[in-house]
Amino acid sequence: MTLTNLVTDFNRFPPNGEELNVDKVNPAIRLYGRRFYKDQTPLEYLAEFLLIFVSSKQENGEGCFEFKLSFEEGAAPRYWPEDRIALKLFSFFSSSKLETRHPVHRQAYLEALETFKGHIDGNKDEQEETLRLIQSLFGGFVGVAKNRTWVTYTFLPATTALLSREVNWKHAEALKKGGIQDWKTSTPYFADNVRNFMGRGGELLFLQVANLFEDANAPGITALLQLEEYKYLNNRIENLKSNLENGLREMLEESLDSLGVLASLIENILDKYKINPNLKSSRLGWVPTVTFPEAFLFAIEIENICLSNIGGLEKVELLQVLCSMQVLRSLCFQARRIDEIEKLTSGFIGNYAWIVADQNATVESPIRQMSQGSFNDIDEMLYRVLRSPYLFKGVDKDVLKNADDNVFRHFRKLSKEIGLVIPRKGSGQRFTLHQGLLRFLVAALVAPGERIRLTHFYQRVFAHYGIALGGEQLAVALNWCGKQVAGDSYAVSSSTAWVEEALQQGGFLVELSDAVSMVKNPG
C-alpha cells in the first residue's frame, strides 16, 4: 500500500460521526480524529471517557455503561450526559473565582443552602454543622479547579454521580446584556457545547474502544494475536468487552456507593437549579478505524486495573495515568502509519521507541543521551507527519499552528505533566520512569495475582508502549533511532539496576535466585 493510499483509505468510526469544516483541512484532525486537545487535563481525559461510558446512548435512556453506539441513518451518534449544575453550585460556589460569581448565582447559592438545611433533622446549630460537613465532603472531591468559575470545575470521577458534561458560564456577555433577575433568567448564559475543558479527547478514547468492539474478530486483531509478543493475550479477547463494562461499572457504582446516594439526594432536593428540564444530547465525533491495535492494548490494560483488588480511588488514579499514556501512544501509533521512515521495531507493533533513563543519570551518561535522542526523534516525527503533502495541502498558518499545538506540543506538555518526560522546562528533555509510572506499568500489564519473569515484563512494556528499558529492546530502539553505540557504552546503558531497585521498593519484585527475578501484581 502506498503512502497516498494509506492516508486516503483511513475509514472513520462511526461513519456518521459529527464533522465540521475544520475536520477537512486541519491535518491533526484528519490524521487522529475529532480530537486531541492540548489544554485537556489528564483527569478530564478520564472524566470525559467515563462520562460517555455511563451515559445513555439513546433518547429512551438505553445504552448506559456500554461501549456500544446507537446509529440512526444519516445522523451522528449521540449520548445524553448529566450536567450536575445543582451539585456544583452546592459544592463549589463558595470557593470559586470571585470575579465570575454573578449576584444572581450568589443569591441562588444562599437559597439552595437554606432549602437543603430544611431537609436536615435537628436544631439550627446541628443543621449548620451537618451542612458544612457535607459541603466539605464534596469540596474534597474536586478534580480540576484551577482559575475557573464554579460551574466549570470538574469532580474527581470517583463515582457515576460525580460525572458531568462541561458547562460554561458566559459571564462577560451576561453582564453586558443585563436583564438577569433570578436563576431562571440566568440560564440562557450557561453554554453546554463549548468544550473548552472536556475537549473531546476522552470522547476519542471512548470511540477507539467502541470501534474495537464493533468487530473484535477483525483481521487486524487476529493478525496481532499471532505475533509472538502478543500471543499471551489470545485468551483475553473473548470476554474482554463484558469484563471491561462490568469492571468499570462496579468501580463507579459500588466502591463509593454512599457518596453517590448523597449526591443524588442533593440533586433531587435542589432540582429547581437544573438548566435543562430533560437531558440534552451531545453528538459524538469520530476516530480512524485503523486504531484498533492501540485500542486493544488500551482495553486489556483497563481490564487489568479494574480486576485489581484495590480501592476505587486507586483505580481512578491508575486509569487517569492510563488515559494520558493512551493519548501519547495514539499520537505515535498513528503518526507512524504515514511517516515515511521505514524502520520497524521487532517486538512492538507500533514501530517507534521511547528510550527511558534513570532520573538521576548524569549529563555524560550514555543512556541519558540515548533517551534525549529518543525524545527528539519522537518530537521530530510528530512535527514532520503534519507536514506530509497528503495532509497539508492548502492549509494556512493558523490551522497548522492549531494542529501543532494539539500534536507535538501536546505530546510534550502531557508527557511532562505525568512525569514521563523531564525536565518540565529547559534543555535535555528525555524519557524516564518515576516510581508512580512503574507502579502503573505493573498494574496495567500484569494481571492481578500474576507473576512473570523480569525479562518478560520488559518485553511487555516494550510490546505495549515501545518503552525500551534495556537489553534486546534497547538494541531494537537504538536501531530505530539510527544510533550506533560503542560496546562498553551499550553495556553500561543496558543496565536495568535502577528499574529493579524501584520495582523492589514498590513491592513488585520477587528474587528467586541471583539469576531469576519475578514481577508480581499483588492486586
Nearest to 13 by CA among 201, 203, 208: 208
Per-residue pLDDT of the chain (523 residues; tens, 9 = 90+): 333 344 445 789 998 888 877 778 889 999 999 999 999 999 999 999 999 999 999 999 999 999 999 888 778 899 999 999 999 999 999 988 888 889 999 999 999 999 999 999 989 999 999 999 999 999 999 999 988 899 999 999 999 999 999 999 998 898 888 788 999 999 999 998 888 899 999 999 999 999 999 876 677 788 889 999 999 999 888 899 999 999 999 999 987 788 989 999 999 999 999 888 888 999 999 999 999 999 999 999 999 999 999 999 999 999 999 999 999 999 999 999 998 787 899 999 999 999 999 999 899 888 999 999 999 999 999 999 998 887 766 667 788 899 999 999 999 999 999 999 999 998 899 999 999 999 999 999 999 989 999 999 999 999 999 999 988 999 999 999 887 665 556 655 678 889 999 999 999 998 887 678 999 998 7
In a domain, 331, yes or no: no
Half-sphere exposure of 466 (CA within 13 A, CB side): 28
Nearest to 202 by CA among 292, 330, 350, 382: 330
CA 151 remoteness from chain centre: 22
Residues 6 or more apart whose Cβ sits within 8 Å of residue 246: none
Distance (Å) of CA 395 to CA 44, 82, 383, 392, 400? 30, 37, 15, 6, 7
DSSP 399: H
Query: What is the C-alpha to C-alpha distance for residues 114 and 354, in angstroms, rounded to an integer?
Result: 56
Tell me the three cell numbers of residue 80. Answer: 445524553
Query: What is the C-alpha to C-alpha distance for residues 431 and 45, in angstroms, rounded to an integer?
Result: 22
Instruction: Look at residue 8 in the predicted model and tell me its pLDDT.
Output: 44
Residue length of the chain: 523
Q: What share of the chain is helix, strand, coil (3-state, %, to 5)?
A: 55, 10, 35
Residues 366 and 512 grouped into a single domain = yes
Instruction: Look at residue 391 in the predicted model and tell me its pLDDT.
Output: 78
Nearest to 289 by CA among 210, 352, 217, 350: 210
Query: What is the C-alpha to C-alpha distance for residues 65 and 72, in angstroms, rounded to an integer?
Result: 20
In a domain, 327, yes or no: no
Instruction: Look at residue 223 in the predicted model and tell me its pLDDT.
Output: 85
Residues 6 or more apart whose Cβ sits within 8 Å of residue 114: none
Residues 272 and 366 grouped into a single domain = no
| β-strands 509-511, 517-520 pairing | antiparallel
Number of domains in the chain: 2
Nearest to 3 by CA among 344, 384, 332, 338: 338
Tell me the three cell numbers of residue 258. Answer: 454512599
In a domain, 343, yes or no: no
Q: Of 234, 262, 279, which marks where a domain is finished? A: 279
In a domain, 335, yes or no: no
Domain span at residue 124 reads 35-279
Q: Contact 177/7 with Cβ under 8 angstroms?
A: no
Query: CA 110, 114, 115 angle in degrees (round to 5)?
Result: 115
Residues 73 and 221 grouped into a single domain = yes
Strand partners, 287: 13
Residues 239 and 383 grouped into a single domain = no
> What ranges make up the beta strands (E) of 315-418?
354-357
Query: What is the C-alpha to C-alpha distance for residues 433 and 465, in angstroms, rounded to an integer?
Result: 13
Residues 135 and 267 grouped into a single domain = yes
Residues 369 and 248 grouped into a single domain = no
First to last CA, the chain: 44
Q: Of 279, 295, 318, which marks where a domain is finished? A: 279
Residues 254 and 123 grouped into a single domain = yes
The secondary element (H helix, E strand) that includes residue 520 is strand 517-520
| β-strands 282-283, 142-144 pairing | unpaired
Instruction: Look at residue 9 in the predicted model and tell me its pLDDT.
Output: 52
In a domain, 275, yes or no: yes
Residues 387 and 248 grouped into a single domain = no
In a domain, 118, yes or no: yes
Nearest to 88 by CA among 178, 193, 169: 169
Q: Of 256, 279, 302, which marks where a domain is finished? A: 279
Query: What is the C-alpha to C-alpha distance for residues 207 and 437, in angstroms, rounded to an integer?
Result: 25
Residues 118 and 231 grouped into a single domain = yes
Residue 356, judged by CB atoms within 10 A of its CB (0-12, 13-18, 19+), counts as buried
Residues 395 and 275 grouped into a single domain = no
Residues 80 and 224 grouped into a single domain = yes
Instruction: Look at residue 490 in the predicted model and tell me its pLDDT.
Output: 61
Residues 228 and 369 grouped into a single domain = no
In a domain, 29, yes or no: no
Dihedrals φ, ψ of 90, to 5°? -65, -40
Is 0.85 topped by the overall pTM?
Answer: yes
Nearest to 26 by CA among 35, 18, 17: 35
Instruction: Look at residue 6 in the predicted model and tell me its pLDDT.
Output: 46
Query: What is the C-alpha to C-alpha distance for residues 79 and 69, in angstroms, rounded to an integer?
Result: 8
